[in-house]
C-alpha cells in the first residue's frame, strides 16, 4: 500500500530537548515536504526536497533542520524546540513537485 509514514504520532517534550520526527514514503517519490498546521493559518511549508541531497526552505524554516540522504526518508529535526513550535506537523511526498501530494497522518508536537 502506498503510504507516507510519520513517527511519532504524538509527542510531549520540554523546551531545548532535541527531537526528530521521521518521515518515510514507499512510492519512490522524488519530492518530499514538511508542513505545520496551526489554527487560522492553514498549512505552512517548513522545508521541501526535490531529490536526494537537495533541500530548500519553505515559508517557515526557522528552528528546523532537515536532511535527505535517501530517497525514501526525510526527517524533520528540532535542535532546540521552543513552545512556539507546538503544532501539528505533516510530511508529504509526490513524484514531482507539481504533482498532487500524498500526506502522512500527522505528528502532534507539544513543547512545554
Partner 1 sequence: AQSVSQHNHHVILSEAASLELGCNYSYGGTVNLFWYVQYPGQHLQLLLKYFSGDPLVKGIKGFEAEFIKSKFSFNLRKPSVQWSDTAEYFCAVLRQGSSNTGKLIFGQGTTLQVKP
Phi, psi of 57 (to 5 degrees): -75, 145
Strand partners, 47: 34, 57
Strand partners, 25: 4
Euclidean distance between CA atoms 72 and 95, whole angstroms: 12
Q: Which three cell numbers stand for residue 15?
A: 523546551
What 8-state DSSP symbol labels residue 78? E
Examine residue 41 and tell whether it contacts partner 1 (CB under 8 A): yes
Examine residue 69 and tell whether it contacts partner 1 (CB under 8 A): no
Among 7, 52, 58, 65, binds partner 1 (CB under 8 A): 58
Euclidean distance between CA atoms 79 and 100, whole angstroms: 30
Examine residue 40 and tell whether it contacts partner 1 (CB under 8 A): yes
> Which range of residues in 13-21, 65-73, 79-87, 95-103 is near partner 1 by CB under 8 A?
95-103
The answer to whether the beta carbons of residues 86 and 46 sit under 8 Å apart is no
Examine residue 89 and tell whether it contacts partner 1 (CB under 8 A): no
Among 23, 24, 25, 31, binds partner 1 (CB under 8 A): 31
* Minimum gap (Å) between residue 106 Cβ and partner 1: 6
Among 53, 59, 70, 79, binds partner 1 (CB under 8 A): 59
Placement of cell 526528530 in the chain: 20
Which spans of this chain sit near partner 1 (rule: CB under 8 A)?
Answer: 31, 33, 35, 40-45, 48-50, 56, 58-59, 90, 92, 97-98, 100-101, 103-106
Amino acid at each position: 500500500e502506498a503510504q507516507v509514514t510519520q513517527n511519532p504520532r504524538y509527542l510531549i517534550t520540554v523546551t531545548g530537548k532535541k527531537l526528530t520526527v521521521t518521515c518515510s514514503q514507499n512510492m519512490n517519490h522524488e519530492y518530499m515536504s514538511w508542513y505545520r498546521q496551526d489554527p487560522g493559518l492553514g498549512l505552512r511549508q517548513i522545508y521541501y526536497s526535490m531529490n536526494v541531497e537537495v533541500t530548500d526552505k519553505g515559508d517557515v524554516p526557522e528552528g528546523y533542520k532537515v536532511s535527505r540522504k535517501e530517497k525514501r526518508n526525510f526527517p524533520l529535526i528540532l535542535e532546540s524546540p521552543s513552545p512556539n513550535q507546538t503544532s501539528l506537523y505533516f510530511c508529504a511526498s509526490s513524484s514531482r513537485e507539481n504533482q498532487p501530494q500524498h500526506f502522512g497522518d500527522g505528528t502532534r508536537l507539544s513543547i512545554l
